[in-house]
Amino acid sequence: MQLSPRGQRILGCLVEKALATPDQYPLSRNALRTACNQSTGRDPVVAYEETDIQAGLAELRGLELVKTEYGRSSRVPKAAHRLAEHLDLDVAQQAVLALLLLRGPQTPGELRTRAGRMHTFGSVEAVEAVLRSLAEHRFGTLVEVRPREPGRREARWAHALGDPAAVQVAEAPATTDARTSGRHRPFHDAVLAGDWDAAVAQLAEDVVFRSPAVHHPYEGRAATAAVLRAVATVFEDFRYTDVLDAGDRVGLVFEARVGDRVVQGWDYLHFDDQGRIRDFTVMVRPLSGLRALVEAMQGALAR
């Protein structure tokens, strides 16, 4: 089975959304296009049009990897993947394949960190066991280890469902901003993985945290860490939806739920010369969501 670049991206998005946001799955063509084109958790970032989605879905249907479903109260056709039943894969195997389809070759450690809300791996060894099961799958080799590259301590794994490099050659944007740095990645990925020790490690010792809930900023890593850990107990269904990367200044757009309120927000990160976050500002909307957040945070910080 050799998928085109579009087929790889679409299949990866369907598996990811089925595991991470099941309430929003299956996906309409418009939602699938948004998922394919999002700037977080994708390498490379693409700009698919409606025709690209239609062609990719037709390819996957021909391979019996996608089916069309209709909701009870909607006539909009939605796409659902059949990867699990077609290849007899469990959740852990699906999560690993989705990450490899969406982000290209990765180390077991990167896969564990980035699995996030799709699946929780207790250790790197658990990821390695899944990779071996996919490499020796009864339906054929689904993943393969790449030779260790110069300057890298670990070998990376890639899926065997098509050429991952073809996505970069065929789909990568024509130009990139030379100022972008990806400095936010360690913090971003740690937050999505729920690894708060790793997230806090990205803060400078003298970081200044500006909360949307209080007037005075929190100063220092310890105080900021306490707030972030409290936030983790308050937010549900947290996800980053966009990234604006300008080198040492990065904006992370997020959505989350506080009780029955859905909030949208913006993490504005300013990095120092060592790549640590020295200034961290959060903004939240709407007002009703902010009020719910303030109330919940007061309870969390008082524990």
pLDDT at residue number 171:
42
Residue 272 to residue 278: CA distance in whole angstroms: 6
Residue 176 domain-assigned (yes or no): no
Cis peptide leading into 22, omega within 30 of 0?
Answer: no
CA–CA separation, 158 vs 164, rounded Å? 7
Residues 141 and 224 in one domain: no
- The answer as to whether 180 is a domain residue is no
pLDDT at 88 over 50: yes
User: Are residues 165 and 229 both part of a single domain?
Assistant: no
What CATH number has the domain bearing residue 198?
A: 3.10.450.50
- Residue 236: pLDDT band (50, 70, 90) is confident
- pLDDT tens digit string along 18-59? 999 998 899 999 999 999 998 888 988 899 999 999 999 999
Domain that holds residue 206: 185-301
The confidence score (pLDDT) of residue 166 equals 52
- Please indicate whether residue 54 or residue 298 has the higher confidence score (pLDDT): 54
Residues 68 and 205 in one domain: no
What pLDDT digit, counting tens, does each position of 128-162 carry? 999 999 999 999 999 999 988 776 778 899 999 98
Q: What is the CATH number of the domain that holds 108?
A: 1.10.10.10
With a cut of 60, say whether residue 279 has pLDDT above it.
yes
In a domain, 163, yes or no: yes
Number of folded domains that form the chain: 2
pLDDT value at position 74?
Answer: 66
Handedness of CA 90, 92, 94, 97 (dihedral sign): negative
Would the pLDDT of 73 be above 80?
no
